[in-house]
Every structure is written in structure tokens, then in C-alpha cells.
């Protein structure tokens, strides 16, 4: 089985001196480096996937917790900061994700490579935990094509954090991001950070716990910081705490 290349992007800077209009990405990686010129998909929580080309892999960059390779990717639209928090992987590889809420006692701050114990095997991927919100990602192998990651998972481990299925309250097939309060426009504007490239106009679901759903629209992504601004689609008394793109987004083509 060929393991796909995948990276959880922790930092992104414009290549200097400018090389082929490229960006240098750094973060934990899985699988072998692709061939130069191979197509990559960059995916975020609140937007359409974007496409780039792998150029080279270079010196190691020491991030917060580990040494990560620097990968030069060309052809990505937007600002380098848009890609912080994204997953970049070989085009064509199946991407599966779920989000979940953890118990009050299970607050962690973890981002990195994770191993997943599934009903019928094992898989590798990434996990991020911010406070009580968990996101789990698996690229490619380990799961049948039509199956959901949440349906198959039994246990996951990332760094020193190990969680069983029954410790997670799931949002199946969602990639949720925490929301911060922003400011009042026509209706409240909320902020999301480290969530990969966002697409203005995309509708997102939002959830104010315990069970209050509403709709948000992506307004814009700041090129200087990658902060994403979302506006509630109507007046709403409860402030949402997490958001994720609607299923419709997933069906739209690469752009």
C-alpha cells in the first residue's frame, strides 16, 4: 500500500526570494514526499479546497513541539497565513474528518500525528484538540471508500493523549473550529483562527451548546493573520461556539 503524503500546516511563509510564486509550509507530515510537480490539495474547515503543486522538501524547521520539514508549494491562491491550520495532501486521496467535544476534565492543547484504532484495523492521521474541541483527520488507507471515520473508530492516540470513542461527543463528518466574539455588524460577526483557507460566501453551520444550531456566512479571511470572519445569517440570541462548513461545500469542485 502506498502511503499518501499529508501535512498539518503549523506555519506558512512566502518563499524568499520569491521562487515560482511559492509558499513554504511547515508542520507534522505523514508519508513520503511526492514527486516535484505533483498536485496537492489544501483543505480548511470553512472553505473550498485549493490546489497547489509540490516543488521540494527542504531543511527542517523547529516548531513548537517538534522538528518539521519545510515544504515548498507553488500555485496556492491567497496569503500564506490562509494556510495555517490546513491539511495539505496528495490530490485524489480520500479525506475523512470528524469533530467532537470532550468532557470537562479532558481539556488539552494537542496538534500532531495520531494513530487510530478502527473496528477492522489501524490508520494514521492527525488530531488537533483546542480546549474541549477535538478534530480527527485520516487521509487515504485504512477505511472503505464510503465509510465514515466516526462510525469506525474505537480509540485514538496523539502524543500522550489517548481517547476512547465513548469519551467523545461527536459531530460526525464535520471539521469544527472554535469561534471568538468579533463585533456587531448587521448581525454578530464571529472569528475563527488556524482553520485553513476560507472562502467568502460559503455557508457554515454553527452550534451553541447544548443543541442550538444556526447558520453563518464566511465574510472574509484577513491576509495578515489568517483570521476568518463569519456573520450570523440572522438574529440569534445564543452565540455559537463552533462552526463547520456545510455539506454542500464538500461537493463543489476544486478552484
Which of these, 151, 207, 217, lies nearest to 185 by C-alpha position?
217
Query: In the complex, what is the shortest distance from the CB of residue 165 to another protein, in angstroms, rounded to a whole number?
Result: 25
Question: What is the contact surface with another protein in residues (CB under 8 A)?
Answer: 14, 21-23, 76, 78-80, 109, 130-131, 180, 182-183, 185, 189, 191, 193, 200, 219-220, 222-225, 227, 229
Q: Are 188 and 231 in contact (CB under 8 A)?
A: yes
| Max Cα-Cα span within the chain | 52
Q: Least Å distance between CB 40 and another protein?
A: 15
DSSP string, 159-228: TTEEEEGGGEEEEET---EE-EEEEESSSEEEEE-S-----TT-EEEEEETTTEEEEEEEEEE-TTT--E
Beta partners for residue 22, in sequence order: 74
Our CB check for another protein shows the closer of 4 and 99 to be 99
| Smallest distance from another protein to CB 21, Å | 6
Minimum Å gap between C-beta 229 and another protein is 6
- Rounded CA-CA distance 118/181 in Å is 37
Q: Whose Cβ is closer to another protein: residue 164's or residue 225's?
A: 225
φ/ψ (deg, to 5) at 40: -125, 150
Q: In this structure, are strands 212-221 and 228-232 parallel, antiparallel, or unpaired?
A: antiparallel
CB of 248 to another protein, least distance (A): 10
| Three-class DSSP category at 151 | helix
CB of 56 to another protein, least distance (A): 17
CB of 76 to another protein, least distance (A): 7
Q: Which is nearer to another protein, 30 or 192 (CB)?
A: 192
Our CB check for another protein shows the closer of 93 and 159 to be: 159
Q: Considering beta carbons, is residue 74 or 147 the nearer one to another protein? A: 74
- Please check whether residue 42 is in contact with residue 86, taking contact to mean a CB–CB distance below 8 angstroms: yes
Cα–Cα distance, 212 to 185 (Å, whole number): 22
Taking the least distance from each CB to another protein, the nearer of 193 and 212 is: 193
**Grid coordinates representing 40?**
496537492
Of residues 118 and 228, the one with the C-beta less far from another protein: 228
Helix (H, G, I), strand (E, B) or coil at 101: strand
Amino acid at each position: 500500500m502506498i502511503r499518501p503524503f499529508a501535512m498539518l500546516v503549523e506555519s506558512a511563509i512566502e518563499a524568499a526570494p520569491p521562487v515560482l510564486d511559492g509558499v513554504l509550509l511547515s508542520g507534522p507530515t505523514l508519508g513520503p514526499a511526492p514527486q516535484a510537480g505533483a498536485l496537492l490539495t489544501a483543505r480548511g474547515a470553512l472553505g473550498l479546497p485549493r490546489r497547489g503543486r509540490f516543488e521540494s522538501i527542504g531543511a527542517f524547521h523547529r516548531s513548537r513541539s517538534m522538528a518539521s520539514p519545510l515544504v515548498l508549494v507553488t500555485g496556492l491562491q491567497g496569503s500564506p497565513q490562509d494556510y495555517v491550520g490546513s491539511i495539505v495532501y496528495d490530490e485524489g486521496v480520500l479525506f475523512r474528518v470528524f469533530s467532537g467535544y470532550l468532557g470537562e476534565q479532558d481539556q488539552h492543547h494537542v496538534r500532531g500525528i495520531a494513530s487510530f484504532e478502527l473496528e477492522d484495523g489501524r490508520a494514521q492521521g492527525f488530531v488537533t484538540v483546542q480546549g474541549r474541541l477535538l478534530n480527527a483527520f485520516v487521509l487515504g488507507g485504512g477505511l472503505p471508500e464510503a465509510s465514515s471515520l466516526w462510525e469506525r473508530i474505537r480509540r485514538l492516540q496523539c502524543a500522550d493523549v489517548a481517547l476512547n470513542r465513548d469519551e467523545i461527543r461527536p459531530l460526525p463528518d464535520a471539521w469544527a473550529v472554535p469561534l471568538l466574539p468579533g463585533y456587531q455588524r448587521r448581525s454578530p460577526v464571529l472569528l475563527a483562527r488556524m482553520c485553513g483557507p476560507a472562502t467568502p460566501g460559503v455557508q457554515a453551520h454553527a452550534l451553541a451548546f447544548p443543541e442550538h444550531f444556526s447558520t453563518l456566512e464566511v465574510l472574509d479571511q484577513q491576509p495578515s493573520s489568517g483570521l476568518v470572519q463569519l456573520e450570523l445569517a440572522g438574529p440569534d440570541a445564543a452565540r455559537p461556539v463552533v462552526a463547520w462548513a456545510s455539506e454542500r461545500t464538500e461537493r463543489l469542485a476544486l478552484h
